[in-house]
Amino acid sequence: MLTETDDLKKGKSGKEDLLLEFLEKLEEGTQKEKVLKQTVEAKTVEGKLKKVQLEEEGQAYEKEFTAIQQKREGLISRIDSSLLKQYEFLKDRLKGVAVAEAKEATCLSCHMQIPPQMYNELHRKDKIIPCPSCLRILYLAESGGSKKP
């Protein structure tokens, strides 16, 4: 009977050890959960602040876009209607890029050579010259930099 009692005590001791081990793991898990909750809360706050910042930037860009659109509308009213139609047609056909810079007798959009006589006519700036290859409207950049009209 003593042997059985010792065996039961050893079994009970082993189960208590196992229970203590599980309790320690539970405590570790609880601590990790608290840390993770704090991290999630911090990230949530950070995300909300970032969202507010991005919304403010978006509103600023909207205002800028609206101002540019209004300026564009004012400028469009001064352009000849046939030229505007040509521009709109090219813009739609050529994925939004209807104008290309010409530099050193080359169209910088399609990288094709422009015939010398056509390039000379472009320098005179008395008429609209299209690129013979891509058909975009050519312009020469100002000598001080690469400004688009």
- Give tens-digit pLDDT for 11-62: 777 788 888 899 999 999 999 999 999 999 999 999 999 999 999 999 999 9
| pLDDT number for residue 143 | 60
DSSP assignment string, the chain? -HHHHHHHHHHHHHHHHHHHHHHHHHHHHHHHHHHHHHHHHHHHHHHHHHHHHHHHHHHHHHHHHHHHHHHHHHHHTTS-HHHHHHHHHHHHHTTT--EEEEETTEETTT-PBPPHHHHHHHHHTSS--B-TTT-PEEEEPPTTS----
| pLDDT number for residue 139 | 92
Q: Per-residue pLDDT for 71 more than 90? A: yes
Q: Per-residue pLDDT for 148 more than 60? A: no
pLDDT above 70 covers a percentage of the chain that reads 95
Average pLDDT, integer, range 80-103 = 89
Average pLDDT, integer, range 111-119 = 93
